[in-house]
Each structure stands twice: as structure tokens, then as C-alpha cells.
Amino acid sequence: MLFSTKSLLAVGTAIFSQIVTAQNAFPGAVGFGAIATGGNGGTTYHVTTLADSGAGSFRDAVSGSNRNIVFDVSGYIVLKSAVSLSSSITINGQTAPAPGIGIMAGEVSASDKSNIIIRNLRMRQGNLDPATGKSAFNMGGAKNVILDHCSVAYGQWDSIDGVGVTNITISNSIIAFPIGQQFGAHIEGNQATYYGNLWVSGHNRQPLSKANSQYINNVVYNYQAAYTVANTGGIFNHDIINNYFIAGPSTTTVSNYYYQVNAGQSVYAKGNYADTSKDGVFNGALENKVGSAVVLTAPWASDSAAMASRSAADAYTYVLANAGASPRDEVDAFAVSTVQSLGKSGMIYTNQASTGLSNGGYGTL
């Protein structure tokens, strides 16, 4: 746990300054959530304490709209209850001093809010949260939301839950070790982009995508079911391009890299690989037959082809080196090393402590 000099001079106070420039999301943002405006053009709020509430706290920072939130502290913020975000905010986790900032023991909720940008934030619910029906991050009913370079772990209901969403992006993030239902992400609604993410040791929903979707340059490891649709939430279009699925010790049916993608769904699938050998060697094969879905001959989304700039093999290398919050911490390093075993290690957990990591499994910041 570290505090910057600025924060020590301003403990207990909220410091605001005017932002003079504005842009959609941030340079390099991709997908449907890239139109989020966040707190661009608003004021800057400095988080100066790791306390759950009060002046200078994260909870106070997200209580108002039109804010750019920066961090003068590092370490875990331990929630006493779920924290609700306001619309039109940007959470800049990359501004925290090393080793970075995290939220633990409760849900971060953007439910029914809009125009939210979250970058370089660790959200790790775990079973210290008694609310088993909540998730690490909830954006039900939200629109124009982008999560980028985030690390989401130990979700109880889902790691990420978003029913009734419009225009969301989850990019360059690590979604690992869900407990409880052991589900990665449940997304239903309008348009969703999943780009450059690392999904590790989930039973299912990596993601469950009942939306018109882009699923590009993702890596999924130790799945029991990976990209999932089902027909219970409507008929949608799916661009599934240059992803790598790698079976692990918990993978019981290796062909479940596509799961319940039934007739009526429309899929453009190209350049996807599955390594099902569990032999410690990176040796996947092309797998572009997606259930009984209607086969599209071109991507349904106009920017999918350009977004798929890396082959599945190159995506594996890039994602393992770059996904998640920066700097990479103990939990994310463990997730990456598990994937690097290429089928030899990994399990689906029921609680974070079973990982054997410090701080009761949450890792130390």
C-alpha cells in the first residue's frame, strides 16, 4: 500500500481541477463502447484514501457525474457494501502509484448508467462479500460503457454481468477465476465487443453473449464452455475472429469452445484455433465450425476485419503479455502462468483462498 506525496498533503480532501480537452473514450479504444464519453470535459477528482467512504474516497468520487477520477493512493479498497457508479465518469486506474489500485469484497455497479470509461482497475469480489447474488462488475441496463485493461476476478454471480446493455466494450482485460456460479460474463442486449481479453478457468460464459457481438483476439483457457449463446435471448449476429481456445485440466468436453450456438444465430468465424491436447505444447488447430449457426461470408460489423489485426497465435502472445491492469500484480501473474502451462495446470475454484495466493487469495497490492 503506497501513498504519493500529493495524497499525503491532501488526505481527507477532494481535489478538483478543470479538464479542457474532450474526446470519445480514449486513443486506441475499439468496439461499440468506444463511443463512451466518460468524464471527458468534466472535473478531476483525486482519490486520496483507501477508506470505503468519506471525503477523498472512491465511493465519494463516483457519486457525481462529469468526473475524471484519478488515484493518489495504491492498494486495495475494501468495500463494506456495493458501490454504485454515476453516469459520465472516467475511472483512470493507471494514475495510481505502483503497485496499482483494486476494489475487493464487493460489487462495482454501473447498473442503468451511461457513458462510463474504466481503465486499469482491479475488481475482485470474492466470498468476503456476503451478497452471493452480486457480481464483481454489474452493468445491467447500461449503455456506452468500455472496460479496458481491467482485471476482474472472483465474481460470485458472474465476474461481469450486463443484461439489457447497449454499446459495450470489454477489451485488453483479464477475466479469471470466477467462484460461486463460476461464470465469466453474462451479456444481453444490443451491441457488444470483446477484444483482446484473457479468460481463465471459468465453468461457462466466456462470455454468454446474447447480443450482436464482436469476439476478436481473445484467449480462453481451461474452459468447460467458452463462447456461449443459446437461443433463449433472441437471434443475433456474431463476428468470431482470430481467437485461441486452450483446454485445461478442468475441460471435460474439449469441443465446447463454442457452446449452444444454435440454428438461427448468424456467425462469421475465421482464424480461430483450439488447442485441445493438454500436453504443454502450443499446437492448436483451426476450428471455425460454430455449432449449427448460419454461416456468414463476411463480418456483419463494419470494423471487425480491421480490428482483427493479429492472428490467433499472435493474439496469444500479445494478450498474455499485455492484458489486465498495469502493473501486473500477483493474481494476474498467477492467471497468466496458469495459461502458460498449456493444459498442465489450472482448476475451477469455489473460493479465492484456494488459489493459495497471499491476502487470502486476493493477492497483495
pLDDT, tens only, 48-91:
999 999 999 999 999 999 999 999 999 999 999 999 999 999 99
Mean pLDDT of 12-27: 47
Q: What is the DSSP string of 214-269?
A: EEES-EEES-SS-EE--STT---EEEEES-EEE--TT-SSTTTTEES--BTBEEEE
Cα 286 from chain centroid (whole Å): 26
What phi and psi, each to the nearest 5 degrees, are found at residue 173?
Answer: -115, 160
Enumerate residues 6+ apart whose C-beta is below 8 A from 36.
24, 25, 29, 115, 116, 117, 144, 145, 146, 167
Res. 3: pLDDT tops 80: no
> Is 119 annotated as catalytic?
no
Distance from C-alpha of 337 to C-alpha of 32, rounded to nearest angstrom: 31
Residue 206 pLDDT level (bands cut at 50, 70, 90): very high
What phi and psi, each to the nearest 5 degrees, are found at residue 335?
Answer: -60, -45
Cα 162 from chain centroid (whole Å): 12
3 state SS of 82: coil
What pLDDT, on the 0 to 100 scale, is given for residue 4? 41
Q: Considering only CA atoms, which of 192, 130, 200 is closest in space to residue 165?
A: 192
Helix-helix angle 312-322:330-340, to 10 degrees: 150
Res. 1: pLDDT tops 70: no
User: Of 59, 119, 122, 205, which residue is the catalytic one?
Assistant: 205
Distance from C-alpha of 185 to C-alpha of 204, rounded to nearest angstrom: 9
Res. 19: pLDDT tops 70: no
Residue 320 pLDDT level (bands cut at 50, 70, 90): very high
Residue 21 pLDDT level (bands cut at 50, 70, 90): very low
By the 8 A CB rule, do 269 and 290 touch? yes
What pLDDT, on the 0 to 100 scale, is given for residue 2? 46
Res. 318: pLDDT tops 50: yes
Q: Considering only CA atoms, which of 152, 159, 146 is closest in space to residue 114?
A: 146
pLDDT, tens only, 210-248:
999 999 999 999 999 999 998 676 899 999 999 999 999
Mean pLDDT, rounded, of the chain: 93
Q: Considering only CA atoms, which of 35, 139, 36 is closest in space to residue 88?
A: 36
What pLDDT, on the 0 to 100 scale, is given for residue 14? 37
Q: Considering only CA atoms, which of 215, 133, 234, 128 is closest in space to residue 175?
A: 215
Residue 24 pLDDT level (bands cut at 50, 70, 90): confident
Res. 311: pLDDT tops 50: yes
Mean pLDDT of 11-36: 63
Res. 106: pLDDT tops 50: yes
Q: Percent of the chain, pLDDT > 90?
A: 91
Task: Give first-to-last CA distance, the chain, whole Å.
Answer: 6
Enumerate residues 6+ apart whose C-beta is below 8 A from 178.
153, 154, 155, 156, 158, 159, 184, 201, 202, 203
- Look up residue 361 and give its three cell numbers: 487469495
Residue 23 pLDDT level (bands cut at 50, 70, 90): very low
